[in-house]
Amino acid sequence: MKLLEQAIMERGRVIGSDILLVDTFLNHQVDVFLMQEIGKEFAAHFKKNQIDRVATIESSGIAPAAFAALFLEAPLVIMKKQASRILTGDLLAATVRSFTKGTQYELTVKRDFLPKGERVLFVDDFLASGEAAIGAKKLIDSAGAVLAGVGIVIEKSFQSGPERLREEGIELYSLARIASMQEGQILFH
């Protein structure tokens, strides 16, 4: 998606060889006009997959996922990373390890918000090692729903995520695919 690649080039910043800072438009300050275009693009691509519901993980996935849900005319469900005393009832859980941040969290969602048989599109901001998407798939599977596709805003193709998702037979659509990066230079596929 040209508009997104342009935003990455003009407003992103590479740290080291594997972290892209996009807090100017994606995950801290948010360019809602760009998010709107991102939502339209996901909706146009995944229309054929008969999506009933969009799912994401708090917090950075919410903006692009909300716009995808809007244009797919589907509800949005936000999987939680933070334990909460008021989040009770029939909860599904899966452990997710973050290789980028070196942390681990329990991904949870209310079973009621992933109805059995529904076709779910999972949307997230980054695909790195694929842990978040695999964790989301575990929750969707255990709810008896169907993961009907994964939509990613920025894929770091040089990390293991894309390959892992393919091995799981998951349909992946990434709007920007970074082949390699270093300070001052980003190469897209």
* Comparison of 6 and 82: residue with beta carbon closer to ligand G4P: 82
CA distances from 114 to 123, 139, 143 (A): 15, 9, 6
Size of the site for ligand G4P (CB under 6 A): 22
According to CB under 6 A, which residues from 100 to 119 bind ligand G4P? Answer: 100-101
What amino acid is encoded at 5 in this protein?
E
* Comparison of 22 and 38: residue with beta carbon closer to ligand G4P: 22
From candidates 7, 22, 148, 170, binder to ligand G4P by CB under 6 A: 22
From candidates 8, 120, 132, 136, binder to ligand G4P by CB under 6 A: 132
Select from 31-39, 66-74, 129-137, 140-148 the region that touches ligand G4P (CB under 6 A). 129-137
Pick the closest to residue 18 from 162, 176, 172, 157 (CA basis).
Answer: 157
Q: Which residues of 28-43 are buried (b: 16+ CB within 10 A; e: fewer)?
A: eebbeebbebbbebbb
Pick the closest to residue 165 from 120, 117, 132 (CA basis).
Answer: 132
Prior bond to 60 cis, omega within 30? no
From candidates 19, 30, 91, 93, binder to ligand G4P by CB under 6 A: 19
Select from 42-50, 54-62, 70-78, 168-176 the region that touches ligand G4P (CB under 6 A). 54-62
* Comparison of 118 and 155: residue with beta carbon closer to ligand G4P: 155
- Residues 165, 122: contact at Cβ < 8 Å? no
Residues of this chain that interact with ligand G4P (CB under 6 A) are: 19-22, 27, 57, 59-61, 98-101, 125-132, 161
